[in-house]
Chain A
Amino acid sequence: KNEVEQSPQNLTAQEGEFITINCSYSVGISALHWLQQHPGGGIVSLFMLSSGKKKHGRLIATINIQEKHSSLHITASHPRDSAVYICAVRNAGGTSYGKLTFGQGTILTVHP
């Protein structure tokens, strides 16, 4: 079993729909990251959170430390949101260089 599991692996939506991507992890963490990767493009950081909830525009990220679970929500989805969304966790303790363990990613396609 991977340390970081994302679901679903693939997600197709119609423009305007509310989208949820889930991330579960099995290790103690100090922080969780949500990243976005566009086709053929690089990877950008969307959120870093260690508790509660963060919002940026139409994106909302939540984390429940006790349940070892995080969700990324996209409200009023748009075709430009089509991308791979990656969850990554920073293990608790360890060195200061900030090793991340990544999920496999969720491929999101939003149709007009």
Chain B
Amino acid sequence: NAGVTQTPKFRVLKTGQSMTLLCAQDMNHEYMYWYRQDPGMGLRLIHYSVGEGTTAKGEVPDGYNVSRLKKQNFLLGLESAAPSQTSVYFCASSYHYEQYFGPGTRLTVT
């Protein structure tokens, strides 16, 4: 099993550009999450999903959108990137309580 994978691993965007981060899991987990990690701060939840076709806002959802069209995939979109969105993004999935994390995507917005 690949577990949780994320693409891309690195990306540099200019302010105003858009992009989509892809998270995929092969563990048949119902729950999926997108976090951002910034220096000096703990991981913060952006959006989450409790099942295929459902999404909900986390702590810091502004500027992001998500979709979960298939159970195994959870997409995070930035419609108009801003420098404040420079961060490392982690996807995670869980069946019940324990969360399994992807390797992260390092995004820089200039």
Of residues 21 through 69 on chain B, the ones whose CB sits less than 8 Å from some CB of chain A are 31, 40-45, 48, 50, 56, 58
Question: Contact: A104 with B100, CB < 8 Å?
Answer: no
Interface presence of B7 (CB below 8 A): no
Question: Contact: B96 with A101, CB < 8 Å?
Answer: no
Count B-side interface residues using an 8 Å CB cutoff: 23
Interface presence of A14 (CB below 8 A): no
**Given A42-B102, A42-B104, CB of A97 within 8 Å of CB of B31:** yes
Question: Contact: A100 with B99, CB < 8 Å?
Answer: yes
A33–B97 CA distance with the chains assembled, in angstroms: 10
Interface presence of A108 (CB below 8 A): no
A50 to chain B, nearest CB (A): 10
Question: Contact: A99 with B96, CB < 8 Å?
Answer: no
Chain B neighbourhood of A42, CB < 8 A: 90, 101-104
Interface size class of A (residues with CB under 8 A): 20 to 34
Residue with the greatest number of chain A CB neighbours at <10 A, chosen from B31, B43, B44, B48? B43
Q: A42-B103, A48-B98 are in contact. List 16 more A-B contacts (CB 8 A).
A: A4-B42, A35-B101, A41-B103, A43-B90, A43-B101, A43-B104, A45-B99, A86-B43, A88-B42, A97-B48, A98-B96, A101-B42, A102-B42, A102-B44, A104-B40, A104-B42
Give chain A's interface residues, CB within 8 Å of chain B: 2, 4, 31, 33, 35, 41-45, 48, 86, 88, 90, 95-105
